[in-house]
Amino acid sequence: MRIRVLGTLHAETAGVSIAPSAAKPRQILALLALQSRHIVPVSDLMEEVWGSGPPRSAPTTLQTYILQLRRRLRAALGEPGSLPGSGSSGSSAAGRDPYAPSDKEILATRHGGYQLEIADCDVDALEFTQLTRTGHAAYEAGDMAKSSRLLETALALWRGPALADLPHGKHLSIEATRLEESRLGALERRIDADLRMGRHREVLGELCALRGRYPLYENLHALLMVAFHQDGRSSDALIAFRRLRSTLVEELGLEPSPRIDRLHQAILRGEDALDAWRGTGSGQAAGLAG
């Protein structure tokens, strides 16, 4: 089985789509996938679909949605009792691996909830989390090439906003926000690793585009300042700072953070911008000594 939620919802088994067309069963499938191999309580599933005041029929309706998902799984697996018109045949059922898990084993009923039994690598969001964890660890270990490569692989899994075509109840809203924050963190860290390897020219265009997409995200603006400065374009780095400051003051009534200001001062003094951003420049050292 393969389930993708980093964009629109796609789910398939053995090349056959198992994604339902109705919104509520799609929400349930997405939430189960994001919590793969963990029990999702019935109360969480009902809250996701119906909010804090579910109808009296909610438990029965939820069971119906689970049954529908299992039927789609059964059809894709070629098991007896598949959905009519699913395209499965007696021959596919006969040729099925007898040791392969059944639909009830893949979408299992547990005490107080349901559990989707699929590997992390079969859910793009979980694969993304694993890759970013490893990429961040490589960065902390000083292996910038490995970090950049892993984080780029993780970011390539995204096909648009997470859960883009689904209504978001309480739980999917939390998951979508978490995933987007993780995406930004991975993107920032990957660009940082690239800058540390001297790839400032390769990332300048990307950073200019990101500045427009995330006008209030200070760290991406700071990395753009670093890239300009490394490319010998200190004037453009200073313009980028002024543009960020103007946006922050106009939109939020706030000045840039002290870290951004220290980077700005280092560029004005002609010091190494990357060292200043890392907090290891001469200005930081002097400040600590004082």
DSSP assignment of 35-48 equals TTTS-EEHHHHHHH
Q: What is the rounded average pLDDT of the residues 112-126?
A: 95
Parent domain of 112:
2-121
Q: Is residue 150 part of a domain?
A: no
Dist. CA 275–CA 182, nearest whole Å: 25
Residue finishing a domain among 72, 87, 121 = 121
Residue finishing a domain among 65, 86, 121 = 121
What's the structural domain count of the chain? Answer: 2
What is residue 223's predicted lDDT score, i.e. its pLDDT? 97
Q: At a CB cut-off of 8 Å and minimum separation 6, what does 6 contact? A: 124, 125, 128, 157, 158, 159, 160, 162, 179
Confidence of residue 104 (pLDDT cuts 50, 70, 90): confident
Residues 117 and 14 in one domain: yes
Q: Is residue 191 part of a domain?
A: no
Residues 111 and 222 in one domain: no
Q: Which two tokens stand for residue 83?
A: 């959905």
Answer with the residue of higher pLDDT: 245 or 94: 245
Residues 12 and 112 in one domain: yes
Q: Is residue 148 part of a domain?
A: no
Residue with tokens 């559990």: 115
Residue finishing a domain among 93, 121, 149 = 121
Q: Is the pLDDT confidence value at 123 over 60?
A: yes
Read off the DSSP letter of residue 169. Answer: -
Q: Which of 73-82, 112-121, 201-210, 231-240 bottoms out in mean pLDDT, i.e. has the lowest? A: 73-82
Confidence of residue 102 (pLDDT cuts 50, 70, 90): confident
What is residue 278's predicted lDDT score, i.e. its pLDDT? 85
What CATH number did the domain enclosing 263 receive?
1.25.40.10
What is residue 281's predicted lDDT score, i.e. its pLDDT? 53
Please, what is the average pLDDT of the chain? 90
Confidence of residue 120 (pLDDT cuts 50, 70, 90): very high
Q: What is the rounded average pLDDT of the residues 63-72?
A: 94
Q: Is residue 286 part of a domain?
A: yes
Q: Is residue 149 part of a domain?
A: no
Q: Is residue 81 part of a domain?
A: yes
Q: Is the pLDDT confidence value at 85 over 60?
A: no
Answer with the residue of higher pLDDT: 279 or 128: 128
Q: What is the rounded average pLDDT of the residues 32-45?
A: 96
What CATH number did the domain enclosing 80 receive?
1.10.10.10
Q: Is the pLDDT confidence value at 174 over 80?
A: yes
Q: Is residue 207 part of a domain?
A: yes
Q: What is the rounded average pLDDT of the residues 49-72?
A: 94
Confidence of residue 100 (pLDDT cuts 50, 70, 90): low
Record the pTM: 0.86
Residues 113 and 223 in one domain: no
Dist. CA 225–CA 35, nearest whole Å: 39
